[in-house]
Amino acid sequence: GNSVTQMEGPVTLSEEAFLTINCTYTATGYPSLFWYVQYPGEGLQLLLKATKADDKGSNKGFEATYRKETTSFHLEKGSVQVSDSAVYFCALLRSSASKIIFGSGTRLSIRP
């Protein structure tokens, strides 16, 4: 079946550190891949997406590249800020589907 596996948190980093949150997926066909972010007390919001192999999604300094050969979509940011503290969800959507499959979420805390 279709599933998403992401690294368990919490992840705690100092400000300006480099961030990687790993995500791998299992899916039939060629799904679209997403990273959603949930700030404290809010709903999820789309951070970035990639719809085909080798696509790179980017937003707010975050990047993720759709790697079909390794079935991965790792989230990276070169220099994190305190305001990046949130829960990050990796997700996939098959092209013919409407239901997004979310990972379990990774809580990120950034120390000043």
Partner 1 sequence: DAGVIQSPRHEVTEMGQEVTLRCKPISGHDYLFWYRQTMMRGLELLIYFNNNVPIDDSGMPEDRFSAKMPNASFSTLKIQPSEPRDSAVYFCASSMGQGMGEQFFGPGTRLTVL
The site for partner 1 (CB under 8 A) is made up of 32, 34, 41-46, 49, 51, 89, 93-100, 102, 104-105
CB of 27 to partner 1, least distance (A): 13
CB of 111 to partner 1, least distance (A): 22
CB-wise, 24 or 51, nearer to partner 1? Answer: 51
CB of 93 to partner 1, least distance (A): 5
CB-wise, 17 or 102, nearer to partner 1? Answer: 102
Rounded to whole angstroms, what are the CA distances from 77 to 49, 64, 99, 111?
A: 15, 9, 28, 15
CB of 103 to partner 1, least distance (A): 9
Nearest Cα neighbor of 71 from 98, 97, 53 is 53
* Residues whose CB is less than 8 angstroms from the CB of residue 3 and which lie 6 or more positions away in sequence, other chains included: 25, 26, 27, 101
Distance CA 5, CA 96 (A): 21
Distance CA 43, CA 12 (A): 22
CB-wise, 46 or 82, nearer to partner 1? Answer: 46
